[in-house]
Structure 1
Amino acid sequence: MVITVEIRKMYKYPFELVVNIHLNKYPTPLEEHVTGIKTVEEKTDNISGIIYRRKIATCNNVIPKFLRKINFLNVNDVHIEEESWLDMKQRILNIKSRCLTWAQYSTFHEVSVFKQSVENPNWTEFHQKGSIVVTGAGKLNRLCEVFAQAFFNKGVKKSVNIMETILEQRCGRPFL
Structure 2
Amino acid sequence: MVITVEIRKMYRYPFERVVDMHLNKYPTPLEEHVRDIKTVEEKKDLTGIIYRRRIATCNNVLPSILRKAHLMNVNYVYLEEESWLDREQKTMNIRSRCLTWTQIATLQEVSVFRESTANPNWTEFRQTGSIAVTGVGRLNRLFELFAQSFFSRGVKKSVNVMETILEQRYGRPCS
Q: TM-score, normalised by structure 2?
A: 0.99
Letter in 1 for 2:12: K
* Separation in 2, partners of 1:95, 1:24: 15
* Separation in 2, partners of 1:109, 1:78: 13
Count how many residue pairs are aligned between Structure 1 and Structure 2: 175
1:114 aligns with 2:113: yes
Query: Which runs of 5 or more structure 2 residues have no equivalent in the other structure?
Result: none
User: What percentage of residue pairs aligned between the two structures are identical?
Assistant: 72
* Separation in 2, partners of 1:105, 1:48: 38
Task: Report the counterpart of residue 144 of structure 1 in structure 2.
Answer: 143
* Separation in 1, partners of 2:3, 2:100: 18
1:52 aligns with 2:51: yes
Query: Which runs of 5 or more structure 1 residues have no equivalent in the other structure?
Result: none
- Structure 1 consecutive aligned stretches of length 4 or more whose deviation exceeds 2 Å: none
Task: Report the counterpart of residue 43 of structure 1 in structure 2.
Answer: 43
* Separation in 1, partners of 2:165, 2:90: 21
Superposition map of 1:1-176 within 5 A: 1-45=1-45, 47-176=46-175
Q: State the Cα distance separating 1:104 from its structure 2 match.
A: 1.1
Q: State the Cα distance separating 1:24 from its structure 2 match.
A: 0.6
Render the CA deviation track for 1:29-63: whole Å, top value 9, x for unaligned.
00000000011000001x21000000000000000
* Separation in 2, partners of 1:102, 1:12: 36
